[in-house]
């Protein structure tokens, strides 16, 4: 029967809803039912194919599955061995992103109360970004204008493409071990949703959360909010804005210091006058 089914039917696409989903942890294989209003068929997703999925299968999810129709001989039942599966109505990458957001939000990683304030006057700022990008040039320009003596450490990484997420995570882990940094800016100069994929990586998100130094996310995209934006202590819409958040204006600080020094001199002079007046009063009495 199996040879007949596989030979005459072969591989098919099935649009259906997932039901009775269960995954065997030891083997990694998953078994479920694909059903619609009129019919259903049992399905098997073996570990190798399942490992390629970017989202989580679960009951009630509508999918488009591709696989080989066969017969499970011990029970004499037709089944489909799934080789490829995509969610219907939303792409796999978008669904995976939604699931990750829900997961991290439930863990409290987006909560405002765990966000740390930025330092008023950092001694040194780390820029985790591409060293040849327009973003790093913009940040350095803004910092030079606002605080010319600011000490900056550039941590070079790829910000898109294969391996970028791992480089970003490694860089965040590395800066976390440093004692000479007061704030970290993580970012790039915008891009498409695909370009921003590295900033939606779970391992990177946890590296940001674990970092003992306040982190500013500056992905540079107003519409697409990344996971990095949500877990960072502060989100900037652009790299230039991140540089403004990180550094005060030196001229303003100097003016404030001059103002405070003037007040201190005036207060001291007033105190001296008062003391002299008391001495004169004592001398006359």
Structural domain of 195? 107-246
Q: For position 265, what pLDDT does the model report?
A: 87
Query: Residue 251 domain-assigned?
Result: no
Same domain, 223 and 118: yes
Q: Give the pLDDT of residue 176.
A: 97
Alpha carbon distances (Å) from 86 to 33, 43, 51, 91, 271? 15, 14, 13, 7, 79
Predicted pLDDT at 188? 92
Rg of the chain over Cα atoms, rounded to whole angstroms, equals 30
Q: What pTM did the predictor assign?
A: 0.69
What's the token pair of residue 277?
């007046």
Question: Which neighbouring-strand residues pair with 84?
Answer: 66
Q: What is the DSSP letter of 201?
A: -
Count of structural domains within the chain = 2
CATH for 113: 3.40.50.9100
Residue 5: predicted pLDDT: 46
Is 269 part of a structural domain of the chain?
A: no
Q: Mean pLDDT, 10 residues at a time, over the chain (285 residues)?
A: 55 91 93 90 94 88 92 81 88 81 96 95 96 94 94 96 95 97 93 86 97 94 84 95 93 76 84 84 77
pLDDT at 200: 94
Going 211 to 215 to 218 to 221, the CA torsion angle's sign is positive
State the burial class of residue 90 (Cβ atoms within 10 Å of its Cβ: 0-12, 13-18, 19+): middle
Phi, psi of 228 (to 5 degrees): -60, -40
Is there a single domain that holds both residue 46 and residue 172? Answer: no
Residues sharing a CB contact under 8 Å with residue 219, sequence separation 6 or more, in sequence order: 187, 188, 190, 196, 199, 226, 228, 229
Sign of the dihedral through C-alpha 209, 205, 176, 133: negative
Whether 252 maps to a domain, the answer reads: no
Count other Cβ atoms within 10 Å, centred on residue 8. Answer: 8
Residue 143's CB: how many other CB atoms inside 10 A? 22
Evaluate whether residue 275 is within a structural domain.
Answer: no
Can you give the CATH number for the domain in which 80 is found?
Answer: 2.40.50.140
């Amino acid at each position: 029967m199996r040879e007949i089914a596989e030979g005459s039917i072969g591989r098919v696409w099935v649009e259906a809803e997932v039901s009775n989903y269960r995954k065997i942890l030891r083997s990694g294989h998953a078994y479920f039912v694909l059903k619609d209003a009129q019919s259903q068929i049992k399905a098997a997703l073996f570990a190798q194919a399942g490992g390629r999925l970017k989202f989580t299968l679960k009951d009630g999810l509508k999918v488009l599955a591709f696989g080989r129709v066969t017969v499970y001989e011990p029970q004499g039942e037709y089944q489909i061995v799934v080789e490829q599966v995509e969610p219907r109505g939303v792409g796999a990458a978008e669904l995976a992103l939604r699931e990750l957001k829900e997961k991290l939000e439930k863990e409290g990683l987006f909560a405002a109360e765990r966000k740390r304030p930025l330092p008023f006057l950092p001694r040194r700022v780390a820029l985790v970004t591409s060293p040849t990008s327009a973003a790093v040039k913009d940040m350095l320009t803004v910092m030079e204008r606002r605080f010319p003596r600011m000490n900056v450490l550039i941590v070079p990484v790829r910000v898109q493409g294969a391996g970028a997420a791992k480089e970003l995570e490694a860089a965040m882990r590395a800066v976390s071990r440093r004692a000479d940094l007061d704030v970290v800016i993580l970012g790039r100069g915008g891009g498409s949703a695909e370009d921003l994929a590295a900033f939606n990586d779970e391992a990177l998100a946890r590296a940001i959360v674990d970092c003992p130094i306040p982190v500013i996310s500056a992905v540079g995209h107003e519409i697409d909010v990344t996971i990095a934006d949500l877990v960072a202590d502060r989100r900037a819409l652009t790299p230039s804005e991140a540089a403004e958040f990180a550094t005060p204006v030196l001229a303003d600080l100097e003016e404030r210091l001059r103002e405070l020094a003037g007040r201190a001199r005036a207060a001291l002079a007033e105190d001296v006058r008062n003391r002299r007046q008391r001495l004169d009063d004592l001398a006359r009495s």
